[in-house]
Amino acid sequence: MAFDACMMRAVLSEFRERFPEAKIEKILQPVADEVDLVLHHGRESGRLLFNVGPNAPRLQLTSLAKENPERAPMFCMFLRKRLLGARITGAEQLGFDRIAKLTVSGYDEMGFATEMKIICEIMGKYANFILLDSEDKIISALKMIDFSQSTIRQILPGLKYRAPDQQGKISPLSVTRDDFFERLSGFAKEKTGEKFIVSFTAGVATNIAREIVYRASGETDVPLMNIDPERLYSVYSEWQNLLLQEAYCPTVVYDKSGKPIDYSYMDITYLGDSADKKHFDSFAAAFDDYFYEKDRLEKIHQRAHDIKKLLSAAISRTEKKLALQLEALKDSERAEEWRKWGDLITANIWKIKRGDSEVTLTDYYDDSAPEVTVKLDPRLSPSQNAQRMYKQYTKQKKAKEVLTEQIAIWERELLYLESVSAFLESAECEQDIADIRDELYSAGYASRMRGYAPPKKKKSEPIRMQTTDGMTLLIGKNNVQNDTLSHKTADKNDIWFHVKDLPGSHVILVTDGREPTDRDYTEAASIAAGYSKATGDLVAVDYTRVRNLKKPQGSKPGFVTYKTNYTAFVRPIKKI
């Protein structure tokens, strides 16, 4: 669902209960569109997250700590100067809209007590974080809006803050029975009940309107004419009471694969058996569960945009080179044909004259001895034409050898680039991205990353897991880690797993001299399939003892060869 005004009311209620007067201890800006306030009240600490990006705008308490850039952005530094050490003394909702106002009491640079206000507007792509003074004048904002961007409402320092218009809708907290039936009588009966509720009720998301209609009629996409008006109002009143009494039920809905697909402040029933759901004790826990993966992917996308662009261009360039070389190799297959023509001209040189542009000869290489026409250069003598054919034969034969070698090189290069791309997709933190940058730098792509210099920082560790039967699994997060795991870390008797014929992580099952159980083998193979580009229910995974691995001299990081192996078909997983 969209983060609607009802959800804003619920989140602010939870915040006031947990942090009635919180001190701001830290201010962080992990990504461009997010500000996190680390708060402390009594014995409790927490984070208040303001996400004003276009993909997942929201205000929430969170228990998840995020990686932050080495150098704080300018807006973050400005907020630290103004707000560090201050206390949040009030939190309210403006009107019944997706706007929160937090009152902050602190001290200015001269030591005088001062009051400021944080405005958090959660309005899709127009979401914003705004800092006001005690007179509601704008001090600064994460997203400045000038006259060139909007002639209706500007967000600029010095201007008086003005909240957006409500567009004539009624707050659900104040809708009476008369209001409801008056609106109902003037609404087109052929339109759906969902559209009716959204048309006059301020701050309600479509999935909540759909839930109300479902509870009233047993269906979702149903015209008003097919819904009992009294029943619809009864369910609408129950929803009103839920908001007034703040009897919330934080809920996350999942599809059958376990992926979160929706969240709400009330129970969701209209999806029936097509989805699963889970109720949480707090909105903080519900949001952390719903947005964790979404935030991770968005952050990776932002931080790794230049690498993705580099890899996409390199893969496209390599594929084009391969296609040209494969076409040239196809042409070089005619080498034997040139030699045959040279032999035929030599055998029949007595019947060819200088100046002939073609000659018809009997092809004795074919059992049926057909007549073939051979093109000649009229400027050359018969013997010179034969020599030209032999030169073409030698040239094409040499080209075939060179092209075969070059194609193998570029195929390995393409496989390497696709493996880096796969690791980039599964990166879980900024350090993983930094390691991939270092790998590309070492692989000769530094010139395409402008201004890049390899950082002097500790490399990230491979992923470590325990199988159900207690054996250790080590999973590489990039090709350099794959190399280190397979050729330095692993013992020769450990077992190596890798998805068959696709980019993926090297997975080492540490044996410590013991023989793994069948479940150990299965879980290790499933993890190798999960940390790869493989798709589908059953994936082929090769496994062998580490002592059977060979790394060709001069090969790219992560590339190995092996001959003695087994293959398992397993279902991919990423966590045991």
> Between residues 572 and 298, which one has the greater pLDDT?
572
Cross-strand pairs, 103: 90, 117
Residue 385 lies in a domain: yes
Q: How confident is the model at residue 569 (pLDDT cuts 50, 70, 90)?
A: very high
Helix then strand then coil, % of the chain, to nearest 5 = 40, 20, 40
pLDDT score of 506:
96
Distances (CA, A) of 202 to 149, 263, 265, 491: 26, 19, 16, 64
Same domain, 289 and 386: no
- The yes-or-no verdict on residue 441 having pLDDT over 70 is yes
Residue 502 lies in a domain: yes
pLDDT score of 451:
57
Continuous H helices in 186-228: 193-200, 206-217
Q: What share of the chain in percent tops pLDDT 70?
A: 96
Distance CA 313, CA 417 (A): 10
Same domain, 247 and 364: no
Q: Which CATH number fits the domain that encloses residue 117?
A: 2.30.310.10
Same domain, 397 and 494: no
pLDDT score of 392:
81
Q: Which CATH number fits the domain that encloses residue 229?
A: 1.10.8
Which of 390, 420, 450 is the last residue before a domain boundary?
420
Residue 152 lies in a domain: no
Q: Say which residue the tokens 């997942």 belong to.
A: 56
Same domain, 133 and 186: no
Residue 353 lies in a domain: yes
The mean pLDDT of 81-104, rounded to a whole number, is 94
Distance CA 536, CA 570 (A): 10
| Residue pLDDT, tens place only, 274-313 | 889 999 999 999 999 998 877 766 667 777 888 888 888 8
Which of 365, 393, 420 is the last residue before a domain boundary?
420
Same domain, 9 and 132: yes
Residue 78 lies in a domain: yes
Same domain, 10 and 137: yes
pLDDT score of 68:
85
The model's pTM is 0.61
pLDDT score of 458:
59
> Between residues 550 and 439, which one has the greater pLDDT?
550
Q: How confident is the model at residue 266 (pLDDT cuts 50, 70, 90)?
A: very high
Residue 506 lies in a domain: yes
| Residue pLDDT, tens place only, 100-128 | 999 999 887 777 899 999 999 998 788 99
Same domain, 328 and 295: no
Asked if 419 and 311 count as a contact pair (C-beta separation under 8 A), the reply is no
- The yes-or-no verdict on residue 191 having pLDDT over 70 is yes
Asked if 560 and 549 count as a contact pair (C-beta separation under 8 A), the reply is yes
pLDDT score of 459:
65
Same domain, 529 and 564: yes
Same domain, 341 and 381: yes
In a 3-state reduction of DSSP, which class is residue 317? helix
Cross-strand pairs, 137: 160
The mean pLDDT of 503-522, rounded to a whole number, is 94
pLDDT score of 350:
83
Residue 133 lies in a domain: yes
Same domain, 13 and 137: yes
pLDDT score of 24:
96
Residues in contact with 458: Cβ distance below 8 Å, sequence separation at least 6, in sequence order: none
Domain extent at residue 119 = 5-141
The mean pLDDT of 490-494, rounded to a whole number, is 95
Which of 141, 166, 200 is the last residue before a domain boundary?
141
> Between residues 386 and 119, which one has the greater pLDDT?
119
Mean pLDDT of the chain: 89
| Residue pLDDT, tens place only, 347-377 | 888 888 888 888 888 777 777 778 888 888 8
pLDDT score of 159:
95
Q: What share of the chain in percent tops pLDDT 90?
A: 57
Q: How many domains does the chain have?
A: 4
Same domain, 483 and 529: yes
pLDDT score of 470:
92
- The yes-or-no verdict on residue 263 having pLDDT over 90 is yes
> Between residues 343 and 549, which one has the greater pLDDT?
549
pLDDT score of 449:
60
Same domain, 37 and 71: yes
Q: How confident is the model at residue 76 (pLDDT cuts 50, 70, 90)?
A: very high
Residue 167 lies in a domain: no
